Structure 1
Amino acid sequence: MVTYLKRNRSCRILLVEKTDRLYRNLRDAVTVEELDIEVHLVKEGQIVSKDSKSQAKLIHGIHLVMARNYSENLREEAKKGMLEKASQGGFPGLAPFGYRNNKAERTIEIDPVDSLIVSRLFALYATGSHTLSTLKKTIHAEAGKKLSRGNIHLILKNRFYIGFFEWGGQTYPGIHPLFVNRSVFDQVQSLLTGHNRPKPSKREIAFRGLMQCSYDGCLLTGDVQKEKYVYYRCTGHRGKCELPRFREDDISNRLGEPLKALQVPQEVVLQIVSALREDQRRAASKIITERSRLELRLTGIRNRMDSAYADKLDGKIPEDFWERKMTDWRMEEQQIKMAMDGLSSAETGDRALDAQRIFELANKVYSLYVSQDSTEKAKSLKMLFSNCSVDAVSVTPTYRKPFDMIFKRAVLEEWSGRLDSN
C-alpha cells in the first residue's frame, strides 16, 4: 500500500475502518504521515491530514496510543498465557520433528510418519556404528527424508522426546506422549558427548541395534574379532554386565527360535480372510447406499437454491429472506459434502488380501529365515520385532503389530471356531 501511494501521486485518499486497523505504533504513523495523504477513518468519523485541525490530530493521537497499548497488553497476556501453559506441562510452541500440533484441541500429538523416522534415528545412532553423516544417508535411503546433519544433531539432543522442554529459560516436564525409550536416549547422549565418536564399521554388524540386555537395559553391540568373527556383547553403559558374549551364528539361531511360534492353522486363515471379505462387501454396499442418499440430498438443496434465486430476481421474496435461507442452505450443502468426503476416506484397501499376506508371511517366515544370510535375517527380524531382550540363555522378543496378536493366539492355541472371536 505504501509503495503504491508513493508511485501514484494522483491517489491521495486512504480509506480505513479505524485507527488500529492501520497502525499500532508510532513508526508506522510517521510513515503514513510522510505520504502526505488524507486518511479517512470511517467508523471514527475523522479525516486526518497535514491540514487537519489540532483537535482532530489530538484525538487521532489518543486513538494511536490506545491501539499501541492494546497491542502491548495483548503481547503481555499472550506471553503470560504461554508461561501458564508451560507450567502445566503443555508446550506453547511449534511441535518438534516427530510430533504435530493439534490445533483443534491445542495439544501436541505424535506424528505417525515422522515419529518412526525419529525412533529410527535414535536406534541407529545408539548402536555406535553411525556418524551424523552416515545417519543422514541411511535415513534418506530408508525413508526418503532429507535431514541435514545439524537437524539430526538437534533431534538427538532434544529432551522433548523424553518428556522435557525449554521455555522462557526454564525447563518444564511435559504432558505430551512419548515414543523414544529413555535408555536409548541416554545412550545416544553418551555417544554424542563422548571422546570416541561412533565410526562406521568396515563390516556390517547385522543384528546391532535389534537386541537389548535383559540385565541392565543397554543395547547389544557387535565387534569383529580377527577380521573374521563377529561377537555380540552388552555395551555396558551402566557398568559391568553379567551378559556373556555371543558369536553371530549363535545369536542368529536364538533369534530365529521365536519365529516358530508364528504359525496359524490354514483353516483359521481361510475363515478369517473369508469373514473379512464378507465384511468388506457389506461395508461397500452400505457406502454406495449412503452416497446415493447424500447425492439426492445435495441435488435437492441445490435445486432449492436455484429456485429461490429465481424468485428473488422476480421480486417474489425479499432480499433479507433470500440471504438468510441461502446461508442455511450453503451450510447444509457443506455438511453434505463433508459427509461424502468421509465416505471416500472410509473406502480403504483390500483388508482381506492384506490379512492373507500377513498370515502367509507368519507361516513361512521361519523357513525363509534359516535360508537367509545375516543381513537379510536382520531385515526380517526388524519387520517382525520392535526389540529383543537377551539374557544368558534365552531371547524374548517384542512383536510388532499385528504379529503380537498372532503370537499370543498361536502360543496358547486359542484359535476359536467363531469368526468374530478371531
Structure 2
Amino acid sequence: MYARVSSKEQEKEGFSIPAQLKLLKEYAAANGFAVAQEYIDVETAKQTGRAAFGEMVAYLKAHPSIRVMLVEKTDRLYRNLKDWVTVDELDVEIHFPKEGVVLSRESRSSEKFMHGIKVLMAKNYIDNLSEEARKGMQEKAEQGIWPTKTPLGYRNITGPDGKKIIAVDPTLSPIVSQMFDWYARGDISLKEAARKAHAAGLTYPKSGAKVPVSTVHTILRNRLYTGWFEWHGKLIHGKHEALVPVELWERVQGVLDGRFASKAKRGKHDFAFSGLIACHACGCAVVGEIKKQRYVYYHCTGYADKCQGNPASCRRKHVREEALEAQFTELLGRLRFDDEVLEWVRDALHASHADERREHEEAVKRHQAEHKRLNDRIHAMYVDKLDGLVDTAFFEKMSNQWREEQNRCQREIERHQNADKSYLSEGVALLDLARNAQRLFEKQQPREKRRLLNFVLSNCTWEDGEVVATFREPFDMLAETTTAAARIEAGEGAISAKTEIWLPGLESYYASIYLEKRQKSDS
C-alpha cells in the first residue's frame, strides 16, 4: 500500500493520510489481499526522489512474489513521467480504488491510454500550479513585497490586508545590522565576522544552531537589507523596512570583492607587513616570522609549486622588520608638504567646487521636475478614478509604478545632495591624510600600519633587501610633485618651487579628482 500527501501541513491537518489508509485497508480486506508493506510519503510528487517511493520500488524488485500495489488514485502515485516509467517497468498490478481501475500488463489498450492521460493531467496540474505560483510571486515582487522566505533579521507576518509580508525581527535585526558595520571596515575576515555575530547571539530562530560562515557571506551579499531587492533581473524598491543604508551595503560589497579588503595575516602574532609584499625574484609572498622570541624577520615563502625562481635561494634571504618599516616610512615621507600649500589646496578646492556644485544642482532640479511630473500624473489619474474613467485595478497598477519611479528620483536627489556636501570635505581629508601619512604610520599598531599602506601603496615587491612600491592614484601625483618641488627648492628656493611646481601640480591633481567624481556620478 502506498499513501502520499504533498506537504507536512497537510499531514498535520490530518485530512488525507488516515483517509487513504482506511480506504486501502478496506479494499484489501474486501478483495482478500494480505498487506505485506505500507509506505507513506509526505512530499510533492512533481519530481523524482521521494524517500518512501524509492524504498517501495526497491522492495518490489527484491520480492518478485509480491505483485499488487494499492494506491488511492493516480496522482497519489506519481505526477511526473519518470516515476510512471519506473513503476511500469516493475510489472506490477496497480489498483486505484477511488477511480475503480486495475492496471496490469493484461489491461486493455484503452485503459492504459486513459491512465496515461491521467498521468499527463496530473503533471500538467503541477506545472500549472508552479506557473501560477511564479506569477503570484512576480506580482507580489512588483508590488514591493518580498515574495519568498525571509533571510535572518526579518520574519514573515500577515499584513492588515491578509497578505504575507516581511517585518523586522526585533531580536536578530540589530545583530545583522552590526555585522555590516563590522565588515565594512575591511579589517576582519568572514570567519571573524561570524564569530562576533555568534557572540552577539546570532542563531537560527527555530533550531538555535549557530549560523555558519557561508550564511554570513550570503547575508552580507543580500541587497534585501537595504530596502531594495532584485527579482528576475529587476531592481525593486521594497515596502519593508531597511536594516542598513545602501551606501553601507555597497561598501561591504567592495570589501567582499577585494577592493578594500585587508590582506592581514591570520595568526597569533600580527605582522605589520605580511600580505603586502611579494618577492621580486619569484613572485611568492613575503611573510613575517619571529626569531629568538623577540626579533621579527621577513622572508619569501618560496613555495616550490608556485615559485618562478629558485625556492631554496629565495627562502634563505631575510630582512628585519625595522628595516622594512624604515623604508616604508621614507616612502610615505615623499607625500609631505607644508601648511602654506594646504591653504592653496583649500582655495583650489573652493574654486573647482563651483562647477561641481552647479552640476549637482542641475541634476537635482531635473530629478525634482521628474518627481513633480509623476506626482501630477498620479493626481490626475486619481481624479479620473473618482469620475469613473479608470477602474481601481488600473489606477493601483500605474500609481504603484509611478511611485516606484518617484522613489528612484528621490534617491538620486539625495545622492547628488550628499555628493555635493562631501566634495570639499573628502578632498581636504585626502590631502591631510597624505601630508600626515608618515607621522600617522609611525604611531599606529601593526594592523593600522598595514591598512594605511594598503590605502596609499600598491604593487609592493622586495628585491635584495629593498622595498619597491607604487603610489596609488592620486597619491602618485602628489609624490611626484613633492619630489620635484624639493629639487627646485634645494637649488632656487621655496618661492620658486611653489610657483613652478605646486600650482601646476595642484591643477592636475584637482582635475583628476574632478574627473573621478564625474565618473562615479555617471556610473
- Work out the CA distance in 1 between the residues paired with 2:72 and 2:345: 76
1:353 aligns with 2:443: no
- Work out the CA distance in 1 between the residues paired with 2:395 and 2:446: 70
Q: Which has the larger radius of gyration?
A: 2
- Work out the CA distance in 1 between the residues paired with 2:348 and 2:284: 40
- Work out the CA distance in 1 between the residues paired with 2:187 and 2:386: 61
Aligned residues: 296
- Work out the CA distance in 2 between the residues paired with 1:309 and 1:70: 38
Aligned residue among 120, 129, 143 for 1:65: 120
1:274 aligns with 2:274: no
Alpha-carbon distance, 1:415 to partner? 1.1
Alpha-carbon distance, 1:62 to partner? 0.9
- Work out the CA distance in 1 between the residues paired with 2:280 and 2:457: 16
From the superposition, tell whether residues 225 and 277 of structure 1 become closer, same or farther in structure 2 (CA, over 3 Å): same
From the superposition, tell whether residues 139 and 274 of structure 1 become closer, same or farther in structure 2 (CA, over 3 Å): farther
Kept in 2: contact 1:233–1:245 (CA 8 A): yes
Alpha-carbon distance, 1:417 to partner? 3.8
Alpha-carbon distance, 1:64 to partner? 3.3
Q: Which residue of the partner structure matches residue 281 of structure 2?
A: 215
Q: Which residue of the partner structure matches residue 339 of structure 1?
A: 409
1:233 aligns with 2:296: no
- Work out the CA distance in 2 between the residues paired with 1:31 and 1:310: 54
- Work out the CA distance in 2 between the residues paired with 1:33 and 1:421: 72
From the superposition, tell whether residues 68 and 116 of structure 1 become closer, same or farther in structure 2 (CA, over 3 Å): same
Alpha-carbon distance, 1:357 to partner? 0.7
Alpha-carbon distance, 1:377 to partner? 3.7
Alpha-carbon distance, 1:363 to partner? 0.6
1:247 aligns with 2:320: yes
- Work out the CA distance in 2 between the residues paired with 1:328 and 1:334: 10
- Work out the CA distance in 2 between the residues paired with 1:224 and 1:318: 79
Q: Which residue of the partner structure matches residue 302 of structure 1?
A: 378
1:368 aligns with 2:434: no
Q: Structure 1, residues 257-293: CA drift from partner, whole Å, max 9, x if none?
A: 2212324643552245324543453245335423442
Kept in 2: contact 1:215–1:241 (CA 8 A): no
From the superposition, tell whether residues 337 and 116 of structure 1 become closer, same or farther in structure 2 (CA, over 3 Å): closer
Kept in 1: contact 2:274–2:288 (CA 8 A): yes
Q: Structure 1, residues 97-133: CA drift from partner, whole Å, max 9, x if none?
A: xxxxxxxxxxxxxxx9999999975xxxxxxxxxxxx
Uncovered stretches (5+) of structure 1, i.e. residues with no partner: 9-21, 36-48, 73-111, 122-134, 156-177, 186-197
**What residue identity is the alignment partner of 1:303?**
H
From the superposition, tell whether residues 330 and 53 of structure 1 become closer, same or farther in structure 2 (CA, over 3 Å): farther
Q: Which residue of the partner structure matches residue 395 of structure 1?
A: 467
**What residue identity is the alignment partner of 1:351?**
Y
Which protein has greater RCO, CA pairs closer than 8 Å, 6+ apart?
1
From the superposition, tell whether residues 25 and 208 of structure 1 become closer, same or farther in structure 2 (CA, over 3 Å): closer
Q: Which residue of the partner structure matches residue 329 of structure 2?
A: 256
Kept in 1: contact 2:277–2:459 (CA 8 A): yes
| SS of 1:308 mapped into structure 2 | helix
Q: Which residue of the partner structure matches residue 271 of structure 2?
A: 205
- Work out the CA distance in 2 between the residues paired with 1:6 and 1:371: 71
**Superposition RMSD in Å:** 5.4
Kept in 2: contact 1:301–1:333 (CA 8 A): no
| SS of 1:240 mapped into structure 2 | helix
Kept in 2: contact 1:385–1:397 (CA 8 A): yes
Alpha-carbon distance, 1:236 to partner? 1.9
1:119-158 correspondence runs (5 A): 136-137=191-192, 151=213
- Work out the CA distance in 2 between the residues paired with 1:207 and 1:287: 44
- Work out the CA distance in 2 between the residues paired with 1:139 and 1:411: 45
Identity of aligned residues (%): 21
**What residue identity is the alignment partner of 2:335?**
L
Kept in 1: contact 2:278–2:285 (CA 8 A): yes
